[in-house]
């Protein structure tokens, strides 16, 4: 028995070691490449998906010789990892979507402020943190999308109006668990107050044609199929649908144009508190806010550039100009848990 | 030898050696227990910090519904996996009908498909905008209601499709091991075929079926992917909400520890319920199946084929269609590195976890069950936690060790302080081992238990030397268990998402990571290619698993024919 176990264990150990060696040699060539390069490597934790950031980092490396390595995960998980790693962290930049996540990271003390004329010049004040902990890099608008077959745009006016009786059984919404909706409701609390907002959200829930969808795309598909007539989505999801099918019988409506404007949010980044390459990381951040990078950064996901001097792509511009809500997106983070509680009370799942 | 004092001292020395050798076997058992204890204690320690605010809110607004939803899910999935798993296993193991040979392994295949993939494929097919409901409306008009897919019905259906193979796999081996002997005896004593099944075959397979169902239910409780796609609120979604919505990991961990408590209680109840009823059978020599004829045969075929088509062929067909429509644009060199990483991580995790399982099982056997059973049970808890919660517990634990121990040693030695655990392959492999230990432990332990000391004695008395015993007795008896364990862990690791995402080293993206990135952006169709690849990669191990379990352990059969229950 003993011998047998020894043999078996020996075999298993040998196998494990072999595979580990294969694994190490696999990452080995990366290590060598880094050594031959004198320039520093900037390390990014990114909640923005690989296919959206890889090309732009590659371009940065081409232009400057500075390498960028990154891992992707959800914002919550990355924030937790930064917290747990403390001063040990290899990360120089945290790149994530939604101001709520950025605000949270800032609250946790994971960023250090960046004093940069370039960034101040490139990124408008309401799209960055007051304490300069983070900077918005692209703008995403959450707006109304309606069926061109069953809705006349004159019926539409504001987010609030979707709570009216005329939309009974005609509204589809994405789940309240998604941070986009939490931010929308948080900014509504900020401007309208909690009581009014709760009435509106209850009205939405009342008007739902079906239980909330798990993503924007399936909510739009439900509108297309006739299950409901209007929904709230981020414009780039609509953009994807339109790219696949230019004749799609849906259209964008910009609400609240006579009032506070369309709800916008950002994707953005900040320098981590324990960054090992703060100068190189700041240079990357500044470059990302520059006109040449902004175009590509926004276009990769059909978003709007955060840098006001850069025009959105033609495809996006074709949806028309709109007035955006200029409330500082930080309020979305501050009021996020209030918003979730409010939606829970209103029965919005 | 003639000097009694010397003999005495030799015996003493031998005894002491044996004592220390036996002690040594505590090591792997406790290593594993401590490894699992690390994330679990991070989670349990969360109670040190009361989160009154969130708890009040949860109790006021949702807790009732969450518990109700979770209960519906557990009861539904438990019942349906039991019905499907046992009936299919019985047909395939004991009866003969057209198509039985390929259905035997084909029915295992849904195990190769990750739950989150089946969920999004099925919702795309069956939701209001999908082809089935569109057809329905075209034929019956828009006002005839269809089944409420995005509710408990749909979620239970999806989970059953993916998880029944656990019950099927274990029940099938149990039925095959029983052979026909006892059922035939029951029938000779006047039972009908159904009576023999209910009173003899089923009770004897009960322990195996219970293990299968408890695996399925642990996955159900820990699942986040499917319930998120269906927006069905369960205990797990509340955990995620506390974490990602309220940014309150403490409250999330408290919720998770409640979940852990449920699972521990359920495992305890299962142990107690099984009581002392243990069944041992003589390994059978060959199968003599009941041939089904006419309508019966076609019903059996039809039933098995329907399950296979619904649970596997349709989702895979849909994935293939999407992949075809999207074209091969994604098939660049980076794609091959995804496959390579997936496979290397799966392989290393499978080997390491199986090795740990073998060491622990062997340690437990040497030390006696009761001495270490608490530690062993503890080591099995990793499977029941939602993957992300476990992953974050592991990460916090490793980061702590990095900071408090490794960094200090580094500083002491005058080295540059850096992380040696978090973000390295070692941490990731250990995380897989923690998560999938119980998956590997079951098969290894049961195959080790089957080796009776009498086998060794018998072989020796027939003149076989140690090597021959090793090669001809132990290895054949252990191999199936080890192989099953390794293959199960391989498949599970390749599908694993949260720990891979959180703990992988730079550049180590896998297919599951790619699926996450695409589906996270709502790009389901583009996720079809990596999802399909993942399924194809997993099919081979699943088939291998079934093949080897079909072969009877010949050596054992010839050695132990006619022996009674084990000591």
Give DSSP secondary structure letters for B294-334.
HHHHHHHHHHHHHHHIIIIIHHHHHHHHHHHHH-STT-SHH
Comparing alpha-carbon positions, the chain B residue that sits nearest to A301 is B521
Chain B CB contacts of A86 under 8 Å are 399, 403
Task: Give the pLDDT mean for A187-199.
Answer: 96
Contact A9 B470 (CB under 8 A): no
Question: Could you identify the residue written with the tokens 């009823």?
Answer: B277
Q: Which of A86, A182, A211 sits opposite B403 (nearest CB)?
A: A86
Q: Which of B128, B396, B417 sits opposite A225 (nearest CB)?
A: B128
C-alpha span between B148 and A261 (Å, rounded):
37
Q: Is the pLDDT of residue B281 over 80?
A: no
pLDDT at residue number A15: 59
A20 against B108, higher pLDDT: B108
Q: Which of A4, A22, A76 sits opposite B243 (nearest CB)?
A: A76
Q: Is the pLDDT of residue B49 over 70?
A: yes
Question: What is the pTM (predicted TM-score) of this model?
Answer: 0.89
C-alpha span between A303 and A319 (Å, rounded):
12
Instruction: Give the residue from B270, B208, B218 showing the smallest Cα distance to B382.
Output: B218
What are the two backbone dihedrals, phi and then psi, of residue B230, each rounded to the nearest 5 degrees? -90, 0
Q: Which of residues 449-488 of B touch A (CB under 8 A)?
A: 456, 466-467, 470, 474-475, 478, 482
Plot region of A181 (φ>0 → left; ψ -120 to 50 → alpha; else → beta): alpha
DSSP at A272:
B
> How far does the CA of residue A121 sit from the closest CA of chain B (Å)?
31
Chain B CB contacts of A88 under 8 Å are 399, 402-403, 407, 417-419, 422
Q: Is the pLDDT of residue B438 over 80?
A: yes
Least confident of A64-68, B233-237, B315-319, B475-479: B475-479
C-alpha span between A50 and A58 (Å, rounded):
12
Are A92 and A282 in contact by the 8 Å Cβ rule? The answer is no
Chain B CB contacts of A337 under 8 Å are 245-247
Contact B482 A8 (CB under 8 A): yes
C-alpha span between B374 and B333 (Å, rounded):
48
Model confidence pLDDT, tens digit, residues B379-431: 777 887 778 888 889 999 999 999 999 999 999 998 888 888 888 999 999 99
C-alpha span between B29 and B361 (Å, rounded):
8
Contact A84 B399 (CB under 8 A): yes
The token pair that represents B166 in the structure block: 């656990």
Contact A88 B407 (CB under 8 A): yes
Comparing alpha-carbon positions, the chain B residue that sits nearest to A341 is B57
In chain A, % of residues over pLDDT 70: 89
Chain A CB contacts of B125 under 8 Å are none
User: A110 in helix, strand or coil?
Assistant: coil
B545 against A67, higher pLDDT: A67
Contact A216 B150 (CB under 8 A): no
Q: Is the pLDDT of residue B105 over 50?
A: yes
Q: Is the pLDDT of residue B441 over 60?
A: yes
pLDDT at residue number A85: 94
Task: Give the pLDDT mean for A306-332.
Answer: 93
| Interface residue B388 vs chain A (CB under 8 A) | yes
Query: pLDDT confidence of B543, banded at 50, 70, 90?
Result: confident
pLDDT at residue number A32: 43
The mean pLDDT of chain A is 90
pLDDT at residue number B529: 92
Q: Is the dihedral of CA B444, B445, B450, B454 positive or negative?
A: positive
Contact A218 B123 (CB under 8 A): yes
The upper half-sphere exposure of residue B561, i.e. CA atoms within 13 Å in the direction of its Cβ, equals 7
Top residue of A213, A226, A267 to mutate, by most chain B CBs within 10 Å, is A213
Model confidence pLDDT, tens digit, residues B173-220: 888 877 777 778 888 888 887 888 888 888 888 878 887 888 898 889
Chain B CB contacts of A211 under 8 Å are 150-151, 231
Contact A85 B399 (CB under 8 A): yes
Burial bucket for residue B69 (CB in 10 Å: 0-12, 13-18, 19+): buried
DSSP at B46:
G
Are A239 and A302 in contact by the 8 Å Cβ rule? The answer is yes
| Interface residue B233 vs chain A (CB under 8 A) | yes
The token pair that represents A225 in the structure block: 């199929």
| Interface residue B504 vs chain A (CB under 8 A) | yes
| Interface residue B417 vs chain A (CB under 8 A) | yes
C-alpha span between A131 and A149 (Å, rounded):
47
C-alpha span between A43 and B17 (Å, rounded):
53
Query: pLDDT confidence of B556, banded at 50, 70, 90?
Result: very low
Q: Is the pLDDT of residue B6 over 70?
A: no
C-alpha span between A176 and A337 (Å, rounded):
12
Instruction: Give the residue from A140, A124, A126, A127 showing the smallest Cα distance to A48.
Output: A140
C-alpha span between B118 and B124 (Å, rounded):
10
Q: Which of B344, B362, B524 sits opposite A19 (nearest CB)?
A: B344
Query: pLDDT confidence of B311, banded at 50, 70, 90?
Result: very high
Cite the beta strand spans of chain A per DSSP E.
41-46, 67-72, 93-97, 135-147, 171-172, 230-234, 250-253, 263-271, 304-305
Top residue of B60, B231, B517 to mutate, by most chain A CBs within 10 Å, is B231
pLDDT at residue number B307: 97
> How far does the CA of residue A293 sit from the closest CA of chain B (Å)?
22
Q: Which of residues 235-294 of B touch A (CB under 8 A)?
A: 237, 240-241, 243-247, 249
Question: Could you identify the residue written with the tokens 């159904």?
Answer: B194
pLDDT at residue number B330: 65
Plot region of B289 (φ>0 → left; ψ -120 to 50 → alpha; else → beta): beta
Are B538 and B491 in contact by the 8 Å Cβ rule? The answer is yes
Q: Is the pLDDT of residue B275 over 60?
A: no
C-alpha span between A301 and A239 (Å, rounded):
9
Least confident of A43-57, A301-315, B234-248, B445-459: B445-459
The mean pLDDT of chain B is 84
Instruction: Give the residue from B554, B215, B518, B556 showing the smallest Cα distance to B382.
Output: B215
Q: Which of residues 114-153 of B touch A (CB under 8 A)?
A: 123, 127-129, 133-134, 142, 150-151
pLDDT at residue number A16: 56
Task: Give the pLDDT mean for B350-357.
Answer: 94
> How far does the CA of residue A117 sit from the closest CA of chain B (Å)?
32
Q: Is the pLDDT of residue B123 over 60?
A: yes
Q: Which of A73, A85, A213 sits opposite B501 (nearest CB)?
A: A73
Q: Which of B62, B233, B502 sits opposite A73 (nearest CB)?
A: B502
Q: Which residues contact B424 (CB under 8 A, 6 or more apart)?
A: B505
Task: Give the pLDDT mean for B65-75.
Answer: 94
C-alpha span between B539 and B318 (Å, rounded):
17
Q: Is the dihedral of CA B300, B304, B305, B306 positive or negative?
A: positive
pLDDT at residue number B460: 77
Comparing alpha-carbon positions, the chain A residue that sits nearest to B352 is A16
Model confidence pLDDT, tens digit, residues B483-531: 889 998 999 999 998 889 989 999 899 999 999 888 877 788 888 999 9
Q: Which residues contact B83 (CB under 8 A, 6 or more apart)?
A: none
Contact A4 B470 (CB under 8 A): yes
Instruction: Give the residue from A55, A79, A57, A87 showing the smallest Cα distance to A69.
Output: A57
Contact A85 B422 (CB under 8 A): yes
Query: pLDDT confidence of A161, banded at 50, 70, 90?
Result: very high
> How far does the CA of residue A337 sit from the closest CA of chain B (Å)?
5
In chain B, % of residues over pLDDT 90: 33
C-alpha span between A329 and A319 (Å, rounded):
23
Q: Which residues contact A92 (CB under 8 A, 6 or more apart)?
A: A42, A43, A44, A271, A272, A275, A276, A277, A278, A280, A281
> How far does the CA of residue A124 sit from the closest CA of chain B (Å)?
27
The token pair that represents B304 in the structure block: 């098995």
C-alpha span between B485 and B324 (Å, rounded):
34
pLDDT at residue number B555: 35
Q: Which of A73, A213, A225 sits opposite B231 (nearest CB)?
A: A213
C-alpha span between B209 and B384 (Å, rounded):
18
């Amino acid at each position: 028995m003993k011998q047998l176990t020894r043999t078996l264990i020996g075999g298993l150990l040998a196998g494990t070691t072999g595979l580990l060696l294969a694994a190490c040699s696999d990452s080995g060539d990366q290590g060598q490449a880094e050594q031959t390069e004198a320039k520093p490597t900037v390390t990014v934790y990114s909640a923005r998906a690989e296919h959206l950031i890889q090309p732009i980092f590659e371009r940065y490396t081409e232009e400057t010789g500075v390498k960028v390595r990154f891992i992707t995960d959800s914002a919550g998980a990355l924030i937790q990892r930064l917290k747990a790693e403390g001063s040990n962290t290899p990360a120089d930049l945290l790149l994530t979507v939604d101001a709520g996540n950025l605000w949270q990271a800032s609250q946790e003390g994971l960023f250090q402020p960046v004093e940069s004329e370039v960034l101040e010049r490139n990124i408008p004040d309401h799209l960055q943190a007051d304490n300069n902990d983070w900077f918005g890099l692209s703008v995403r608008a959450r707006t109304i999308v309606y069926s061109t077959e069953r809705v006349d745009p004159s019926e539409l006016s504001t987010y609030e109006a979707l709570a009216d009786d005329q939309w009974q059984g005609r509204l589809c919404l994405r789940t309240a668990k998604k941070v986009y909706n939490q931010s929308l409701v948080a900014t509504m609390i900020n401007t309208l107050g909690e009581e009014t907002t709760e009435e509106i959200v209850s009205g939405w829930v009342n008007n739902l044609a079906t239980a909330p969808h798990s993503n924007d795309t399936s909510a739009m598909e439900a509108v297309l199929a006739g299950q409901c007539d209007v929904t709230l989505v981020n414009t780039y999801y609509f953009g994807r649908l339109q790219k696949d099918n230019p004749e799609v019988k849906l259209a964008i409506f910009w609400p609240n144009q006579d009032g506070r404007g369309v709800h916008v949010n950002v994707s953005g980044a900040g320098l981590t508190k324990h960054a090992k390459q703060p100068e190189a990381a700041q240079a990357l951040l500044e470059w990302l806010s520059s006109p040449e990078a902004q175009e590509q950064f926004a276009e990769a996901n059909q978003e709007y550039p955060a840098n006001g001097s850069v025009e959105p792509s033609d495809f996006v511009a074709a949806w028309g100009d709109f007035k955006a809500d200029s409330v500082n997106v930080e309020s979305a983070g501050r009021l996020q848990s209030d918003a979730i509680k409010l939606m829970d009370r209103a029965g919005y799942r | 030898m003639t000097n009694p004092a010397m003999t005495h001292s030799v015996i003493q020395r031998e005894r002491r050696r044996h004592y220390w050798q036996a002690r040594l076997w505590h090591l792997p058992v406790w290593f594993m227990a401590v490894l699992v204890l690390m994330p679990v204690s991070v989670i349990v320690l969360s109670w040190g910090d009361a989160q009154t605010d969130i708890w009040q809110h949860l109790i006021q607004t949702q807790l009732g519904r969450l518990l109700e939803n979770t209960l519906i899910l557990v009861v539904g999935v438990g019942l349906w996996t039991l019905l499907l798993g046992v009936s299919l296993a019985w047909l395939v193991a004991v009866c003969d009908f057209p198509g039985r040979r390929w259905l035997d392994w084909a029915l295992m295949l849904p195990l190769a498909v990750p739950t989150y993939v089946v969920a999004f494929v099925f919702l795309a097919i069956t939701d209001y905008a999908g082809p089935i409901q569109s057809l329905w409306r075209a034929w019956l008009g828009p006002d005839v209601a269809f089944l409420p897919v995005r509710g408990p019905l749909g979620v239970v259906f999806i989970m059953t499709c993916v998880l029944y193979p656990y019950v099927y796999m274990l029940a099938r081996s149990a039925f095959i091991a029983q052979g026909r002997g006892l059922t035939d005896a029951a029938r000779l004593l006047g039972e009908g075929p159904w009576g023999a099944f209910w009173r003899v075959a089923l009770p004897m397979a009960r322990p195996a079926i219970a293990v299968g169902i408890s695996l399925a239910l642990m996955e159900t409780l820990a699942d986040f992917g499917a319930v998120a796609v269906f927006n069905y609120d369960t205990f797990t979604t509340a955990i995620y909400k506390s974490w990602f919505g309220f940014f309150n990991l403490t409250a999330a961990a408290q919720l998770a520890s409640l979940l852990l408590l449920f699972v521990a209680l359920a495992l305890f109840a299962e142990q107690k319920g099984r009581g002392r009823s243990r069944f041992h059978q003589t390994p059978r020599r060959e199968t003599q199946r009941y041939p089904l004829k006419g309508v019966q045969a076609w019903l059996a075929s039809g039933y098995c084929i329907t399950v296979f088509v619904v649970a596997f062929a349709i989702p895979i067909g849909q994935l293939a269609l999407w992949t075809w429509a999207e074209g091969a644009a994604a098939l660049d060199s980076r794609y091959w590195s995804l496959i390579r990483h997936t496979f290397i991580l799966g392989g290393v995790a499978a080997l390491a976890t199986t090795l740990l399982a073998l060491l622990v099982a062997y340690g437990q056997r040497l030390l006696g069950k009761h001495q270490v059973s608490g530690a062993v049970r503890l080591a099995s808890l990793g499977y029941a936690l939602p993957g992300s919660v476990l992953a974050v517990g592991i990460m916090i634990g490793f980061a702590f060790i990095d900071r408090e121990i490794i960094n200090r040693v580094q500083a002491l030695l005058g080295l540059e302080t850096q992380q040696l655990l978090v973000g390295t392959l070692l941490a990731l492999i250990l995380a897989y081992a923690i998560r999938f230990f119980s998956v590997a432990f079951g098969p290894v332990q049961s195959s080790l238990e089957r080796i009776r000391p009498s086998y060794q004695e018998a072989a020796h008395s027939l003149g076989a030397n140690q090597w021959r015993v090793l090669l001809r007795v132990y290895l054949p008896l252990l191999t199936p268990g080890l192989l099953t364990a390794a293959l199960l862990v391989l498949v599970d690791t390749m599908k694993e998402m949260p720990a891979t995402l959180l703990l992988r080293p730079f550049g180590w993206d896998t297919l599951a990571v790619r699926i996450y990135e695409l589906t996270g952006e709502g790009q389901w169709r583009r996720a079809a290619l990596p999802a399909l690849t993942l399924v194809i990669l997993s099919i081979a191990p699943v088939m291998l698993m079934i093949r080897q379990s079909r072969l009877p352990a010949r050596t054992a059969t010839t050695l132990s024919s006619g022996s009674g229950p084990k000591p």
